[in-house]
Structure 1
Amino acid sequence: MEDYIRVGFVGNPNCGKTTLFNAFTGAKLKVANWPGVTVEKKEGETEYKGTKIKLIDLPGIYSLTSYSIEEKVSRKCIMEDDVDVIVNIVDASSLERNLYLTTQLLELGKPLILALNMMDIVEERGMEIDLHRLPELLGGIPVVPVSARKRTGLDVLMHAVVHHYDEGPTGHLVDYGPEIEEKIEKLRIILKAEYPEIRNSRWHAIKLLEYDDEVTEQYPLNADEIIDRNYEKEIINKKYDFIEEVLEDTLFKKDEKEQSTDRIDSILTHRIFGIPIFLTIMALVFFLTFTVGDMLKGVFEIALAGFSQTVYGFLTGAGAAAWMVSLIVDGIIAGVGGILTFLPNIFILFLALAVLEDSGYMARVAYVMDGIMGKAGLSGKAFLPMVLGFGCTVPAIMATRTLESRKERVKAILITPFMSCSAKLPIYVLFADMFFEQQAMIVAYSLYVAGLLSGILVALAVNKLDRKREQRSLLIELPEYKAPNARTISIYVWEKTKEYLVKAGTTIFIASIIIWFILNFNMDGMTADISTSIGASLGRLLEPVLKPAGLGMWQIGVALISGLSAKEVVVSSFAVLFGIGNVNSGAGMVELATALQSNGFGALNAYSLMIFALFYTPCIATIATIRKETGSFRVTAYMVIFQLVFAWIAAVVVYQGGMLFGF
């Protein structure tokens, strides 16, 4: 035995793989109730009675026939001996759908364990599964009932892993009938003769009969008389016949209780009301983000003001140099502290999104939007990364790996940055509160809707220009609605909040120092006149360009440049630029608004600024992710330039249009 057993967690999307993985390893991974969140394998370690076990959380797949990237990742990991034991995690409340993958895994000839997850839901519905008969019909493989949410059955599952690893492969194989079975056997003989290294010749023979592209290319055979046509349809039908026989003997009382999911879906996925309901739900999210977040924000403002005064008093009392006091108080504390006061708003936003994800609603959004996305040459599944972009653009772009074609992925990556990520929220909160007061929440919500609509319109335009359009269809699982799991939500919210705090302590910290430096120095050294600084010189270069958008102030140019590091830095830059200790406090906002208004900057200018911030070039981390996911500097450069130009045009249209109508 090796030093550790490599165990692969394999299963359909939404079967609870990642939640179970977290339960064993304590890893803080992203867990959401829609297909395709786990788009690359994750590794962790656990131990059972002295035996070390490496766990590999693989992307959710419906079969071993590879189309999308996550299916290819899972299949490659399984086929290349990266795992010693396969734990097939299935949703016990949806056995028919989940067992199709099981029938394929049985043919691999590897140790296989069936983990029946969500058994608590099975019991709630009054259903019964014969846990003695099921393993018998599957050829004796271990079947272990578990609940990832309630953390039950975990020791039993690891016990089965350790002992089944020693016993080796078992399992019952589906009988495909005399004709196909004869062809499989002939192909196995040929494969063993020509490719003796193949361990699971039966599985490869079946894939050859299904015209599987990867197997056909990797193991070419001169066997046209055997592979005389594509037998995929017959093989699939035989698998489902086998599954039906298994369920007849093992699953009882399936239809005794009417599923509440169907009743809820009749409303939430309604052909007419589905989209308005989604927009209403998102409006409620931002209402909570502003109202509850602003109530909690006051505590942070008071703490920041007290901390800033204490540090100032300590430094001046210790005789620190004036530049040192200015750097720490006006640069670092004003910049980083100003961002931290938005933490309650960010927390509420992440909490609301986590609840929607874990409840099962987000997959419905893709279903509801499929018609609109289809006109843009995308499936409704492409809408999921866009919604994920409300949190952070980086994982949203990575989530496009669930899309099958490269063309669809590139198009989805192009429009995903149009969504208002959480980093833009501080900009909306600050300027909406300053210039729109009672309408602040409505103004901020309009920006989220504007980003969403603009993304879809851009996709429509790109699709119109595409001469080789692809017709995309939606194949997505609509998971059962469930009460959000407190542990899953807490992990998600904590991870996102921690990322925000880490960004404040690193990127924003460094950016605040740089902004302070370029505003306090010129070519002759340190200057007390900020208008003669390096930053002022850079900002003035942008004044003519930004003036048509109502943003013709050099301070705005500097703030927007700083936002390339992280969009939150735009807010901290305004604090440093105008020397405001706590720009998010009531007094700070009045001070900033007064300074801006003295330069002719009003509500229309503020909205134009928010529109520009919504659309312009994403942060460095997002640009790096786009480069990684597209694999092309040219495509990345095109997207960056396109967004910058789009932002300028949108801001100019808003400002000039507003001026025309007397706003």
Structure 2
Amino acid sequence: MAIKIALAGNPNCGKTTLFNDLTGSNQYVGNWPGVTVEKKEGRLKGHKDVVIQDLPGIYSLSPYTLEEVVARGYLVGEKPDVILNIIDGTNIERNLYLTTQLIELGIPVVMAVNMIDLVRKNGDTIDLKRLSRELGCEAIEISALKGEGSRQAAQLAVEAARESCTGELPHVFTGSVEHALAHIEESIQGKVDERFLRWYAVKLFERDDKVQSELGLDAGLLAHLDEHIADCEKEMDDDAESIITNQRYAYIHRVVSRAVQKKARTEHLTVSDKIDRIVTNRILALPIFAVIMAAIYTLSMGSSNFAIGRMATDWTNDVLFGDWVPNALNAFLEGAGVAPWLQGLVVDGIVAGVGAVLGFVPQMLVLFLMLSLLEDVGYMARVAFIMDRIFRKFGLSGKSFIPMLVGTGCGVPGVMASRTIENERDRRMTIMTTCFIPCSAKMPIIGLFAGALFGGSGLVATSAYFIGMAAIIVSGVILKKTRLFAGDPAPFVMELPAYHVPAWGNVLRATWERGWSFIKRAGTVILASTIVLWFLQGFGFTDGTFGMVEDNNTSLLAGIGGAVSWLFAPLGFASWQATVATVTGLIAKENVVGTFGVLYGFAEVAENGDEIWANIARDFTMLSAYSFMIFNLLCAPCFAAMGAIKREMNNGRWTAIAIGYMCLLAYCTALVVYQLGGLVTGEVGFNFFTVVALALVALAIFLLVRPNPYEKERERVAPSRATVTE
């Protein structure tokens, strides 16, 4: 039977680096069942019978964040054979808070004191034997980044698991608190695993609702225990949870004073402090960030000679999937005598559809690489800190800015970037609004209508970004006043790690994991959708006979488009061609231009569709074109992004809510623009939909200015939490 090692520690303690060092390529990445927190599991190199479970970075086992819920559920429910607790040796006092909780679980614990090279550099010394004796668990020094002591720490964990020796619990609590805890242990004896007695007693002392429900204690016993807890609270003039927290830190302080000797510090700024005085400066922070992101987008998605990502994507689209693969497949299938319909499915359906999306992979990989690099050196944490003050005014967290910024390049990595937001409500709202920002795939739509009807005016593209930002701000204000998203944005608690040289192994691994996740998840959705749409566009009824059609005006897709085109009449575009273009845009937004080209009889069109400008100018007015553009910019994103939304939401209901909200907002916005704009220009007479448009404007104003009915609802925040800097 395999030995299960749980890897636990605070954020930025070096846990991921150690996990990668111990497992190498023998690891698997996914999501924890039912939640979107990343799950990493691997086998110890050279030991097929040793499984290492990398738990999310947490500060405690109190269930205040999704990560803590996941970690606590795994440790209490799965009962791993041993816990390998990684602590940051440069911040040992703060890290030991989690250690004391882990030891109370009754599971063998091995403590790995990481970053020992920095401890030595600072002139500090840690007495590991004294530390081990005080805490009652084995302690070893390591440097995960340099590979020092990593294998020995894993070996100690394996030996501790085989011996199943937990040692004596340290005397963390004193006085009446210890007396009350002993009484609670006695009361629940036989109701819980003997090893977990102390942990359950502490949680009952803290009046943990989840533990009370889990144990199913009768009301009489709970009332009896509450009397003892109330006596402690009265004696110590504090609430139970704060009493536990204070006694833990008092104990940790005693341990550190005995086992750690720190060199006297001279008052001077560290290198990180000096950098932060510039990059987090109130005046310079945003310009510096803008320059850095401009450089990243120039490399990944720009049109300059330095745009590595764009050049790779152009080659993938134009050469690989535009020439080599289709020509090779056509030659092979024709030589094999494959039926024309099957050849069309493979080449025009699967290759064209999936290839259009996979063509974005190179520039996405470059973007992921650059962002992973910024994350690893510690800069991205500063960006979230800088933006929090602005975004909080609209009900969002500062961490919401990164996904929206990334979304300007592509919605898929933008949605995936939302997983850095711990608060579930903030994360879901960020996912729902990120795709309002015009991505690079929407640029051809803007270029098409700007060229065909607006004389190529740059104001059209500029207005598209303003509309996207307005949709995000309005959504943030309105949604925060609903029950689903009520409550203040979570308090901004973030570790600001010291700047350091990137660990290239971690950077490359993170880049590959994000890219491969896109290829696997989004690619399957694309494959299914392209097959369906190829069939609908290539088949139909002619002369009462069903089969392949040469004129797509007689296809099933044309029939379906014509049947539902009336839905878009109030928005100013009711032709089946416009409806079909909108539908095919769900595969990939740049398909809108190509679809118009096919429907207007052009085999190929340029990216901005200048060949079909005359047809567009004939079928659209300036106002209806602008309405069409707004709807396609704000409505549900491409299937690739929808696949990413499904993965990050990890919930069918919430995925439907997110996509439904985008479509509803897009429809209402386009309706207001066309109906009220047409009323002003004389293009539209006063009608029923004009009244609807006016009512929508009034409703939006009311929702924006009304008092928040859930004003008193607040996120629960652990009293022991505080903003932590390096």
SS of residue matched to 2:58: coil
> Within 2, Cα distance between the matches of 1:54 and 1:572?
50
> Within 1, Cα distance between the matches of 2:516 and 2:291?
29
Which letter maps to 1:235?
Answer: I
Quote the residue 1:535 is aligned against: 557
Quote the residue 1:455 is aligned against: 472
Shift of 1:137: 5.0
Q: 1:329 to 1:562 in 2, by over 3 A?
A: same
* TM-score under structure 1 length normalisation: 0.81
Counterpart check, 1:200 vs 2:172:
no
Which letter maps to 1:536?
Answer: A
Which letter maps to 1:290?
Answer: G
Greater Cα shift, 410-419 or 269-278: 269-278
Quote the residue 1:112 is aligned against: 109
Residues 137 and 172 in structure 1, CA contact (< 8 A), matched pair in contact too: no
Q: 1:503 to 1:554 in 2, by over 3 A?
A: farther
Shift of 1:131: 5.0
**Aligned pairs for 1:306-321 within 5 A:** 306-307=323-324, 308-312=326-330
Gaps of 5+ in 1: 32-36, 404-408
State the Cα RMSD in Å: 4.3
> Within 2, Cα distance between the matches of 1:563 and 1:28?
37
Q: Among residues 178, 183, 192, which one is paired with 1:181 in the alignment?
A: 178
Q: 1:176 to 1:507 in 2, by over 3 A?
A: closer
Quote the residue 1:223 is aligned against: 225
Counterpart check, 1:269 vs 2:271:
no
SS of residue matched to 1:477: coil
> Within 2, Cα distance between the matches of 1:206 and 1:553?
67
Residues 141 and 170 in structure 1, CA contact (< 8 A), matched pair in contact too: yes
Q: 1:599 to 1:567 in 2, by over 3 A?
A: closer
**Aligned pairs for 1:621-632 within 5 A:** 621=643, 624=646, 628-629=650-651
SS of residue matched to 2:188: helix
Residues 429 and 485 in structure 2, CA contact (< 8 A), matched pair in contact too: no
> Within 1, Cα distance between the matches of 2:333 and 2:192?
76
SS of residue matched to 2:111: strand
Q: Among residues 484, 487, 494, which one is paired with 1:470 in the alignment?
A: 487
> Within 1, Cα distance between the matches of 2:401 and 2:135?
41
Quote the residue 1:158 is aligned against: 154
Quote the residue 2:695 is aligned against: none
Shift of 1:626: 7.8
Which letter maps to 1:299?
Answer: W
Q: Among residues 599, 619, 641, which one is paired with 2:660 in the alignment?
A: 641
Greater Cα shift, 456-465 or 647-656: 647-656
Greater Cα shift, 487-496 or 636-645: 636-645
Deviation by residue 1:363-412 (Cα, 9 ceiling, x = unmatched): 33332333344334455456676668754466456666x32xxxxx3464
Q: Identity percentage over the alignment?
A: 35
SS of residue matched to 1:480: coil
Q: Among residues 74, 79, 88, which one is paired with 1:77 in the alignment?
A: 74
Shift of 1:85: 0.5
Quote the residue 2:715 is aligned against: none
> Within 1, Cα distance between the matches of 2:361 and 2:601?
22
Residues 418 and 614 in structure 1, CA contact (< 8 A), matched pair in contact too: no
Shift of 1:133: 4.6
Which letter maps to 1:187?
Answer: I
Which letter maps to 1:241?
Answer: A
Shift of 1:136: 3.7
**Aligned pairs for 1:545-564 within 5 A:** 545-546=567-568, 554-564=576-586
SS of residue matched to 2:310: helix
**Aligned pairs for 1:400-415 within 5 A:** 402-403=422-423, 409-410=424-425, 412-415=427-430
Q: 1:594 to 1:627 in 2, by over 3 A?
A: same
SS of residue matched to 2:516: helix
SS of residue matched to 1:589: coil
Q: Among residues 286, 290, 301, which one is paired with 2:297 in the alignment?
A: 286
> Within 1, Cα distance between the matches of 2:630 and 2:500?
37
> Within 2, Cα distance between the matches of 1:504 and 1:366?
27
Which letter maps to 2:441?
Answer: I
Q: 1:399 to 1:504 in 2, by over 3 A?
A: closer
> Within 2, Cα distance between the matches of 1:434 and 1:120?
58
Which letter maps to 1:44?
Answer: G
Deviation by residue 1:163-214 (Cα, 9 ceiling, x = unmatched): 222440136614433333333333333333x636443323333333333333
Quote the residue 2:536 is aligned against: 518
Q: 1:578 to 1:95 in 2, by over 3 A?
A: farther
Shift of 1:152: 3.8
Quote the residue 1:34 is aligned against: none
Q: Among residues 366, 372, 375, which one is paired with 1:348 in the alignment?
A: 366
Residues 122 and 128 in structure 1, CA contact (< 8 A), matched pair in contact too: yes
Residues 97 and 248 in structure 2, CA contact (< 8 A), matched pair in contact too: yes
Quote the residue 1:22 is aligned against: 20
Quote the residue 2:166 is aligned against: 169
Quote the residue 1:237 is aligned against: 246
Which letter maps to 1:170?
Answer: G
Residues 123 and 263 in structure 2, CA contact (< 8 A), matched pair in contact too: yes
**Aligned pairs for 1:252-263 within 5 A:** 252-253=262-263, 255=265, 258-263=269-274
**Aligned pairs for 1:299-378 within 5 A:** 299-300=315-316, 301-307=318-324, 308-312=326-330, 323=341, 326-378=344-396
Which letter maps to 2:442?
Answer: Y
Shift of 1:86: 0.8
Deviation by residue 1:55-88 (Cα, 9 ceiling, x = unmatched): 2222222112212222122112222352111111
How many correspondences in the alignment?
637
Q: Among residues 55, 60, 70, which one is paired with 1:63 in the alignment?
A: 60
Residues 522 and 644 in structure 2, CA contact (< 8 A), matched pair in contact too: no
Gaps of 5+ in 2: 234-238, 682-726
Residues 436 and 468 in structure 2, CA contact (< 8 A), matched pair in contact too: no
Counterpart check, 1:593 vs 2:610:
yes
Counterpart check, 1:295 vs 2:311:
yes
Shift of 1:8: 1.0
Q: 1:554 to 1:110 in 2, by over 3 A?
A: same
Deviation by residue 1:489-513 (Cα, 9 ceiling, x = unmatched): 2222223333444468643344333
> Within 1, Cα distance between the matches of 2:386 and 2:143?
30
Q: 1:265 to 1:511 in 2, by over 3 A?
A: same
Greater Cα shift, 292-301 or 326-335: 326-335
> Within 2, Cα distance between the matches of 1:644 and 1:320?
41
Q: Among residues 482, 486, 497, which one is paired with 2:500 in the alignment?
A: 482
> Within 2, Cα distance between the matches of 1:316 and 1:579?
26
Quote the residue 1:406 is aligned against: none
Q: 1:275 to 1:649 in 2, by over 3 A?
A: farther
SS of residue matched to 2:80: coil
Residues 415 and 456 in structure 1, CA contact (< 8 A), matched pair in contact too: no
Residues 268 and 277 in structure 1, CA contact (< 8 A), matched pair in contact too: yes
Q: 1:106 to 1:319 in 2, by over 3 A?
A: closer
Shift of 1:161: 0.9
Quote the residue 2:721 is aligned against: none
Shift of 1:529: 1.1
Q: 1:492 to 1:610 in 2, by over 3 A?
A: farther
Q: 1:108 to 1:605 in 2, by over 3 A?
A: same
Residues 60 and 101 in structure 2, CA contact (< 8 A), matched pair in contact too: yes
> Within 2, Cα distance between the matches of 1:415 and 1:339?
23
Which letter maps to 1:22?
Answer: N
> Within 2, Cα distance between the matches of 1:70 and 1:653?
42
> Within 1, Cα distance between the matches of 2:145 and 2:676?
53
Which letter maps to 2:636?
Answer: T
Residues 7 and 84 in structure 1, CA contact (< 8 A), matched pair in contact too: yes
> Which is bigger in relative contact order (C-alpha 8 A, separation at least 6)?
1
Greater Cα shift, 346-355 or 37-46: 37-46
